[in-house]
Amino acid sequence: MIASKEVRLGILRYLRDIYNKNPTKVVRGTEIMNIFKIDEDSLNGTLKFLEDTGLIKLMSNSYGALALTRITDKGLSEIEDL
């Protein structure tokens, strides 16, 4: 299951804010789950969708709670255009 468009945009904005503070920092899946109040199934689908569209890069083999993510240049561009 993929989270709503609002949650997906929120995740991208959050990853952008983290990137702007510290470009080398990666964000854990558990952190995203806690902030956006989504379950692990929604996180799996959402991170897979965002990665498939090139908006985030997964730095781990997991899409779930153990995921390590960063926003991509494409993701930064998409957020700037909104």
Please tell me whether the overall predicted TM-score, pTM, comes out greater than 0.75 for this model.
Answer: yes
18 exposure class (CB count in 10 Å sphere: 0-12, 13-18, 19+): middle
1-26 confidence digits (pLDDT tens): 888 999 999 999 999 999 999 999 99
pLDDT of residue 82: 63
For 28, the 3-state DSSP assignment is strand
Calpha distance 82→80 (Å, rounded)? 6
From the list 78, 64, 5, 57, the residue with the least C-alpha distance to 32 is 64
Quickly state the pLDDT bin for 80 (edges 50, 70, 90): confident
Cα-to-chain-centroid distance, residue 52? 12
pLDDT of residue 57: 97
Q: What domains are defined for the chain?
A: 5-81 (1.10.10.10)
55-71 confidence digits (pLDDT tens): 999 999 999 999 999 99
Tokens of 45: 């689908």
